[in-house]
Amino acid sequence: MSPSPGGTARTEARLRAALAARAALLTPYDLRPAAPPEGRVRGTRRVRGAVLAALALAAAVAVLVLLPGDVTPPPAPPARPATDSAPPSPAPPPPATPTPAPAIPSVSEPSP
């Protein structure tokens, strides 16, 4: 069954009339952008993810701060080399010189 040339024109005319009627129903007001959605600004899933990330970061910091690190103390740094800028040590006291005793006449007997 092939369509006749007259049947195609009639269907096409009806289709054009239907589309024109539908187009006449639209007004410029209908073509404006839709209003933005109302409701929560952020999804609860995003907020929950941010809160969980903050809690995980706080727990990691608490573990690092509260748990002891290495039990052995770090080695002491090597001694600094002596420099000439150090204050000089005090001079040693002079050797004690024997002081002569006063000549006192002896009361003992003369030696032979």
Hey, where are the domains in the chain?
43-68
Return mean pLDDT, the chain. 79
For residue 88, pLDDT over 70 is answered with no
Cα distance between residue 50 and residue 56, in whole Å: 10
What does pTM read for this prediction? 0.29
Residue 50: what pLDDT?
A: 92
